[in-house]
Amino acid sequence: MGTAPVIRFGTDGWRAVIADEYTFANVERVAQAYADYLTSNLKPQDKRLVVIGYDRRFQSEHFAPRAAEVLVANGFSVALFDRDMPTPLISWAVKDLGACGGIVITASHNPPSFNGFKIKAPWGGSATPETTVAVEQLVDAHPPKRAPVRDAGHALLEPAVASYRKQIESYIDLDRLRRINATVIFDPMHGTGGNWVSSFLTVGNLKLETIRGERDPLFGGVNPEPIDRNLGPLKTRVVTTGALVGLATDGDADRVGAVNELGVTMTMHDVVPLMLLHLARERGLSGGVVRTFSQSVLTKRIAEAHGLKLYQTPIGFKYIAELMLSQDILIGAEESGGIGVKGHIPERDGLLNSLLFLEAIVTAGKPPSEMLRDLHHEFGEFHFGRRDKHVAVERGKDLVARLAEKPPTAIGVYEVTGVETTDGTKLLFADESWLLFRQSGTEPVLRIYSEATTAEKMEALLDQGEEIARG
């Protein structure tokens, strides 16, 4: 027998290729480490209940019960979903049931060959970095134990699902959405978003059509990440039907994506500022604004214009969640579609945010492209792009470190005026444009990001970034 692989947690849990490192044996090792962590950290009054859910990936419905067996053998009761569920709903159930934690078997937006193990904290959000580090260190501290799951806790979960639905219905002005005479296309990309959004809008004038709603563990041949290159069917359907907007969620429905009425993909550098404006101006809400290291300059400018405190964190929603727990936060967002909002759990929720963005559009009374034009007119024009290069992890890390230590004086014709290293290496330019290099925490991918005052400058910076990456 070979040596068991080393388990490493990335930005949001452990992920690995199915049947390579992601095996039943390794899921047991991680589940045992999590059980050991809980056992060491629980107080006598804490409920020894763990909520366990899963997505639509290959074998997820079998990996989740295996994790449950390990938790039961360690003296915990479980509430194990008997069908795939969106990650935000599972997080909601953790908090709603007063559980000591949660497990979600998912690899989120990763390629179909991956699966993963997310840890959810008692407050209904991503585990803190301290928790994931502690669990990682406990892997193989004890050999995994297993016991039959005699009570899967299904009776607990249906009320939690109903409670989640009630939360959405109270947070979003659904009646206003239902009244508009328009078509909206929802694309869950074959993931757990399924028919969830349409289930809130079944009556009224609004026609909501769901595409790619059925389960497909291969996700139609793309990664279930709602970014431009994966949203071809949504863009086409929006144009064909003359829809007001297209909305999308990723594989486990905690991230959101959008396509405007012209069939053009909107980045989170478009969506998040528009949502922030809606919350601050139309809803009259206040609180801090959190942006991760690759989020928009526009988010910063809107926060400043409305007197809202701005926080910047490394990439990964768990950093946003930490601030949402300790500060009065209005919105926290990351470039990859993860958004948390005030009055909800400190968690990304692609379902809630799809509906909230639709509410912003309906409230504005104009299509998304016009909303964005108005935004640029008021706060300045910025365009965002990202390119992912397949680069070995160590090589990518070396490049990022080298750029931080000896940054170039210019990128093409653009002088570099500063460097930030919160998460990766970001080169800054005089007009607040930027170019960021960051090695992914979950896969062998070097991500190159840029935001610039024209689309042409953004593409030029990305081209130069790719040249640098090629060495």
CB 84 within 8 A of CB 29: no
Q: Is the pLDDT of residue 380 over 70?
A: yes
Q: How far apart are CA 291 and CA 72, in angstroms?
A: 39
In the Cβ-directed half-sphere of 236, how many Cα atoms lie within 13 Å?
7
User: Mind listing the pLDDT tens digit for each residue in 207-248?
Assistant: 999 999 999 999 999 999 999 999 999 999 999 999 999 999
pLDDT of residue 393: 86
Using one digit for the tens of pLDDT, what is the confidence trace for 97-148? 999 999 999 999 999 999 999 999 999 998 888 899 999 999 999 999 999 9
Rounded-to-integer distance, Cα 400 and Cα 202, Å: 49
How far apart, in whole angstroms, are the C-alpha atoms of residue 43 and residue 66?
Answer: 26
The total of other beta-carbon atoms located within 10 Å of residue 170's CB is 10
Mean pLDDT of the chain: 95
Residue 392 has pLDDT above 60, yes or no: yes
The predicted model scores a pTM of 0.94
Decide: 317 and 329 in contact? Cβ < 8 Å: no
Residue 211 phi/psi, 5-degree rounding, is: -115, 160
SS3 449: strand
In the chain the domains, ranked by start, together with CATH numbers, are: 9-164 (3.40.120.10), 181-379 (3.40.120.10), 383-470 (3.30.310.50)
Helices (H), 180-296: 196-199, 232-241, 268-277
Average pLDDT over residues 381-392: 93
β-sheet bridge partners, residue 17: 114
| Contact status, residue 439 vs residue 391, Cβ threshold 8 Å | yes
- Laid out side by side, the sheet with 101-105 consists of 9-10, 13-17, 114-120, 101-105, 49-54, 77-80
Cα 175 from Cα 196, distance rounded (Å): 17
Amino acid at 86: P
Backbone angles phi, psi at 116, to 5 degrees: -160, 180
